[in-house]
Amino acid sequence: MKSFLKLKNILSNSQGFTLIEVIMIIVVFAIAVPTLMTVLSSTLDSSNKSVVISQAATYAQEKIEEIIGDKRNPSKGFDWVTTTGRYSSDVPAVG
């Protein structure tokens, strides 16, 4: 009980922070803030890389499907298809 009263006296007599306490808080923040910013920056970089990799995989899958589709339909993407061979003429040749 005496120790509680002693602590209460010490706390009631304090009128603010000492210079040492303020300097210690500044030092702690000076160490903690850059460290947290570094961690946050690397986390954002990792997140951005995963988004780019995901988009690249989706784009590659679309291109693979397009190539497979072109194999099945060789005329895809063209307006006309030419064939070679003999054709009979509807109009007789004069000559």
Largest pairwise CA distance in the chain: 133
**pLDDT tens-digit readout, 35-93:** 999 999 988 888 888 889 999 999 999 988 887 776 666 666 555 656 667 766 676 66
Q: What is the mean pLDDT of residues 10-34?
A: 85
Terminus-to-terminus CA distance in the chain, angstroms?
132
Domain ranges of the chain: 19-69
* Dihedral sign (CA 20, 26, 32, 34): negative
**So what's the pLDDT on residue 10?**
66
Average pLDDT over residues 3-32: 80
What values do phi and psi take at 34, rounded to 5? -60, -35
Instruction: Look at residue 23 in the predicted model and tell me its pLDDT.
Output: 94
> Are the beta carbons of 29 and 35 closer than 8 angstroms?
no
Residue 37 half-sphere exposure, CB side, CA atoms within 13 Å?
6
